[in-house]
Chains A and B, each alone.
Chain A
Amino acid sequence: MAETGAATLVAAGERRGAHEGFGRRVARRFAQHRLALAGLLVIVALFLASALAPVLAPYDPNRVNPLERHQAPFSPSHLLGTDEVGRDVLSRLLYAGRVSLTVGFAAMIVTIVVGSLVGVVAAYYGGLVDTILMRLADVFLSFPTIYLLLVLAAFVRPSVLSITLIVGATAWMEVARIVRAQFLSIKAQDFVTAARALGASAPRIMLRELLPNGMAPIIVAATLNVANAILAESYISFLGYGIQPPQASWGIMLNNAQDFFTRAPWLAILPGVAITLAVLSFNFVGDGLRDALDPHQRRR
């Protein structure tokens, strides 16, 4: 499902050079997008909650206590209840958030790095290199993401690192296309030709001139990528190929809850709400950023 997420909606916008007041204007436009602002607040809250998990969590998230299992939320000693072996759900949600958000962010970085690299290389060298890389992107794009994710996840030892790499490895194509398009449109412009004529080397041109000029759509894609990565991780975990216990992510909590969801529905409801909240917030922020950065919108 990740490939169908909002990332695809990112139009490879027309290049617009940075100019005075741009940052402020973007901030103002973003702030007008109320849902995006709310999303940003939720993200900040989720991050703080996860970062402060050791302080906020009332219990050790892995402490089992079979005598207190399956307690419903708002029980005297467990605000959000307990799971099938008596672990405190609130504590687990806080710690699981760390894993889910870490994977989301780290996978986004992998995506951006790999995608940018592929895009720049394809556009810069063109010809056969371009064809091969873009075909490769097609291969990955033409594949149902879940199938790809599951096959990869089933055949490696699952850890935060491996899951991050897997999620990143299946999501770089969109960014690669955006970057390539950006690059090609810039490549033809005068200042690049000028830089070349002055004897600037290839990597120098790429880094100094091209990347900063094409940042806007990449930032939008990155935000939406975090959302998709969190979702992707939850799918892998839910289907049983996620990070190994005792470490837990929201997806792992859902996977565990599956066996009890009729008897102890809160175990399934709470992590699902957490995932949805996080993903939605990133999507709203991405939407807001796109509106704020989109030159078409600016004209209106």
Chain B
Amino acid sequence: MNLEFLVRRLIQMIPLLIAISILGFSMMHLAPGGPLALYTLNPSVTAEDVARIEELWGLNEPLPVQYLTWASNMFTGDFGNSFRGGAEVRHLIVERIPATVELMGASYAIAILLGFAIGALGALRQYSIFDYLATTGALVTLSIPTFWFGLMVIFVFAEQLGWIPSGGYQSLGRGGGGLIDRLHHLVAPASVLGLVLTAQWSRYFRSSILDVTGQDYVRTAHAKGLRRGTVLRRHVLRNAILPIIALAGVQLPAVFSGALVAESVFGWAGMGRLFLDALTYRDYPVLMALLMITAFLVVIGNLLADIALGIADPKIRTG
């Protein structure tokens, strides 16, 4: 049953990914300007040079041919080479994964701990001042543009107070790059991204816990005279945790978006910055690869979320 569901979901993914790839590919290639714009700004590069490079890169072939070449290479795990520099796209991306994972992981951790704490307190003291402030605070946080939030954090804590580094994920040279140094660099971007996620998630956690506390077995437990803390630990938390894992999966796109912004503001050498650079230089192979990888991860995230929910609630296991 479980396996069948999994296989079906995986098969459903394929047309979805193909649709995304065709959409992305045609949009990029039909747009004005292109990866060769970089060359034309140089007066020593002539029109013949540009035509020659265009041909070498296969950019003069009909679009469907280009797409099929790209797709068949992609299928064999070959993402191609960057138009800006010629490096293997796979290498460029793999190189950036640790930084992004570090940032996203730290933000997830902050958001889950803080979000859960706030959500739980809010749920247990529903309609209290704290609940009201938490809900309002979350809405305020969600209304602040993340990049602006980041800029302000840099301005206040790096520029004015000098407490945190103004960018990058480590100090270079002079013995930089140690664990403490890296944590020091991680604090600001992870907090900014983490707080935004906390704002979203505390509200989900709150309702998730409210759902559980409303269940019969919890009421029974209370009725049996179990202490509040015990009920919370044994029943409420245990049953609220799986929806939370599911949430972490479903929220993957949001975290990706947030990471892109945080990386851009804090000079963090992750995949989001790679994407922005590739966009600037119209580096199609990198853009396409990132697009596909993100789409793939997001679909997988959704799938894991479904599985987590399936385990939590057998009723929905069949999808």
Contacts and interface: CB of A to CB of B under 8 A. Distances in A.
Does A touch B (CB under 8 Å) in the complex?
yes
Interface of A: 1, 3-6, 9, 35, 135, 138-139, 141-147, 150-152, 154-157, 227, 231, 234-235, 238-241, 251, 254, 258, 261-262, 265, 268-269, 272, 275-276, 279-280, 283-284, 287
A276 B145 contact: yes
Nearest to A241: B279
A283 B142 CA distance: 9
Contacts of A157: 32
A1 B146 contact: yes
B254 A1 contact: yes
B192 to A, nearest CB: 12
B66 interface: no
Nearest to B252: A144
28 contacts: A1-B257, A3-B257, A6-B139, A9-B203, A35-B136, A138-B16, A143-B298, A144-B260, A146-B256, A147-B257, A147-B260, A147-B275, A147-B290, A150-B275, A150-B276, A151-B28, A155-B31, A234-B145, A238-B145, A239-B261, A240-B280, A254-B145, A269-B152, A276-B140, A276-B143, A276-B148, A279-B143, A283-B139
B139 A145 contact: no
Interface string B122-148: 000000000000001001101111111
The number of chain B residues touching the other chain, given as a range, is 35 or more
B258 A147 contact: no
Given A142-B302, A147-B260, A280 B140 contact: yes
Interface stretch (B19-27, B72-80, B174-182): B19-27
A142 B143 contact: no
Given A139-B19, A143-B20, A155 B151 contact: no
B127 to A, nearest CB: 10
B209 interface: no
B291 interface: yes
Given A152-B27, A272-B148, 16 more contacts: A1-B257, A4-B254, A138-B16, A143-B253, A143-B294, A146-B256, A147-B257, A154-B279, A155-B31, A157-B32, A238-B148, A239-B261, A239-B276, A265-B155, A272-B144, A276-B140
Nearest to A258: B151
A284 B138 CA distance: 11
Nearest to B13: A142
Contacts of B286: none
A283 B199 CA distance: 14
B171 interface: no
Contact of B200 (A4, A141, A261, A283): A4
A234 B151 CA distance: 14
A287 B132 CA distance: 13
A139 B253 contact: no
Nearest to A240: B280
B212 interface: no
